[in-house]
Amino acid sequence: MSIKSRLIPPTGYLLVFESAARLGSLTKAADELCVTTTAVSKQVKNLEIFLNIQLFTRSKQGVQLTAQGYQYLQRVREALDILSEETKILDNSSTTVTLNLEVGPCFMHFWLLPKIEQFRQAHPDIMLNITISNERHIDASELYDVTFYYATIATANENCEQIFAERIQLVCSPKFLESHGGYIDLQSIFDQPLIMLKKEMSFWEGWQSWANKAGLTYRIPNNALMVDDQVAVIQAAINDTGIALVWDWHVSELIAKGELVSVTDYMEFEEKAYFLHIADQENNLAAKTFVGWVQQQKSGYR
């Protein structure tokens, strides 16, 4: 019986389709699969001809699933998951790979830890070895497979994947906001109870740059709680202590859960961003798997 008579397209077509759908880009799918963009485009087109449906709408920004494409993607992923699990069972020679990560405390505490079990379940063959650091730069040593860092966009290279834009905002707890009449007057922000770092990193945005962009005059606040790190800043805000300056990806889930509320909308600084850097882009499959997973998980963020 032929493949066509069984209505089963070649597995390679399905892998290319799933990658393009997940990444929203034929070019990124080509990079992930180590083939040319032309080859990816051709296989997607062949799959559409095979199915006699349009899977994607295409634009300069990338590709987007059609309704039929989205429905087909769910079945393709189910099939690929089954094949993957059966392959793991048959592959008795598989061994665990250790992936050395260096990440910032906020990325670890507020973003990675709540999701890390999902990665471990999806990739039991990758053991994460995590080091916490707040001072990683793009020109860091190659001691780690993947490093998380903050830098100007201009310094990024082909081994870097931008994961978060530079967006800061003011937040507080619902109880704190209610105790202050449900409204915070930004003109008197430095007279309000604030939560601040004892020492801001010189290359970070902070209260002064926020004030400048907001059109306010920065001055030393009258009533500030000073803490050692950004994790403590956010935890203090949750505990009704005052108003905190935070990055939107630190607190998106806390706001969604009602533990914090926005005092201001986020303010974007387009010159800087947060990146993941892969030390050995060409040969480190585990590192690329982790970074791809992070990109997939963060797709719901602004």
Identify the structural domains of the chain with CATH numbers, from first to last: 4-90 (1.10.10.10), 97-162+278-300 (3.40.190.10), 166-271 (3.40.190.10)
Residue 272's pLDDT band, with cuts at 50, 70 and 90, is confident
The confidence score (pLDDT) of residue 256 equals 93
The confidence score (pLDDT) of residue 255 equals 94
The confidence score (pLDDT) of residue 89 equals 63
What pairing do the DSSP bridges indicate for beta strands 97-103 and 160-172? unpaired
Residue 90's pLDDT band, with cuts at 50, 70 and 90, is low
Question: Mind listing the pLDDT tens digit for each residue in 116-129?
Answer: 999 999 999 899 99
Lowest-confidence segment of 12-16, 117-121, 202-206, 241-245 by average pLDDT: 202-206
Query: Is pLDDT of 8 > 80?
Result: no
The confidence score (pLDDT) of residue 135 equals 62
Lowest-confidence segment of 5-14, 94-103, 229-238 by average pLDDT: 5-14
Query: Is pLDDT of 109 > 80?
Result: yes
Overall average pLDDT of the 143-163 stretch = 84
Predicted model pTM: 0.62
Query: Is pLDDT of 250 > 70?
Result: yes
CA 225 and chain centroid, separation: 30
Sequence-distant (6+) residues with CB within 8 A of 221 are 190, 191, 192, 194, 196
Query: Is pLDDT of 141 > 70?
Result: no
Instruction: Give the residue from 180, 184, 190 showing the smallest Cα distance to 171.
Output: 184
Residue 179's pLDDT band, with cuts at 50, 70 and 90, is very high
Lowest-confidence segment of 7-11, 24-28, 140-144, 253-257 by average pLDDT: 140-144
Sequence-distant (6+) residues with CB within 8 A of 44 are 13, 16, 17, 20, 26, 55, 56
The confidence score (pLDDT) of residue 4 equals 45
Question: Mind listing the pLDDT tens digit for each residue in 202-217?
Answer: 778 889 999 999 999 9
What CA–CA distances, in Å, run from 184 to 176, 187, 233, 253?
A: 10, 9, 18, 22
Instruction: Give the residue from 167, 151, 104, 141 showing the smallest Cα distance to 274.
Output: 151
Tokens of 149: 């860092």
User: pLDDT above 70 covers what percent of the chain?
Assistant: 91
